[in-house]
Amino acid sequence: MSQTLPATIPAELFAQRADAIADAARELANAGWTPATSSNFSMRLDGEHAAITISGRDKGKLGRDDIMVVDMQGKAVGTSARPSAETELHTQIYRRMPEMNVVLHTHSRTQSVASRLFAREGVVKLEGWELQKAISGQTTHDAELAIPVFPNTQHMPELVAQVDAWLDAGKPLHAYLINGHGIYTWGRDMAETRRHLEALEFLLGCELDLRRLSA
């Protein structure tokens, strides 16, 4: 892939971010969370650009050439490659939450099943789990951690509008599920975002077990 970087982005910075995305993607693929080339990952480059996975690539085999630059409207910059169809969901987080620098989206079995199970309620309410404290800003298991479940659509502006509406209502947002799809979460750096993703995978699995065992 030919990638021409904006003048404001040092080549070393892009290489560092691309390598971090590729490394995380390979690990998540090995965990079975990115089946059939699904999922997408990004990192902020500066106030106007992000690095993101190119559409349709095997997430278990990513390298620097599988990562591209987009602007904060989700448009390709300096390349003819096509970004993930859900790029606007990544750039929305960067626009709405300037302190966030990484967005990870995966399709694990647990996430996908939970998204269907809780779709009618529109939210997964996590409470009483010690691992809730793995989410930044959560200091006790007694607090409720709400993970909204948004209806799926192939029209990205609709999904963007749903997320905007949640945020505009003043509700805390640490992650969200899309019905029949997967999860989006984010953080200030890759380590924090990975921690959020792994904690939410565990917590959703616990909620599914509780539903099954109490049926």
The CB-side HSE value for 149 (13 A sphere, CA atoms) comes to 21
In the predicted model, what is the mean pLDDT of residues 76-104?
A: 96
Average pLDDT of the chain is 96
For residue range 43-74, list pLDDT tens digits in order.
Answer: 999 999 999 999 999 999 999 999 999 999 99
Q: What integer pLDDT is reported at residue 85 of this predicted model?
A: 86
In the chain, the domains with their CATH numbers are: 11-213 (3.40.225.10)
Distance CA 56, CA 82 (A): 9
Nearest to 102 by CA among 183, 191, 12: 191
Q: What integer pLDDT is reported at residue 136 of this predicted model?
A: 96
**CA atoms 20, 25, 26, 31: torsion sign:** positive
The structure's pTM equals 0.96
Q: Which residues of 57-66 are buried (b: 16+ CB within 10 A; e: fewer)?
A: bebeebeeeb
Q: What integer pLDDT is reported at residue 15 of this predicted model?
A: 97
Give 80: exposed, middle or buried? Use CB within 10 Å, 0-12, 13-18, 19+: exposed
Give 127: exposed, middle or buried? Use CB within 10 Å, 0-12, 13-18, 19+: exposed
Q: What integer pLDDT is reported at residue 215 of this predicted model?
A: 73
For residue range 20-48, list pLDDT tens digits in order.
Answer: 999 999 999 999 999 999 999 999 999 99
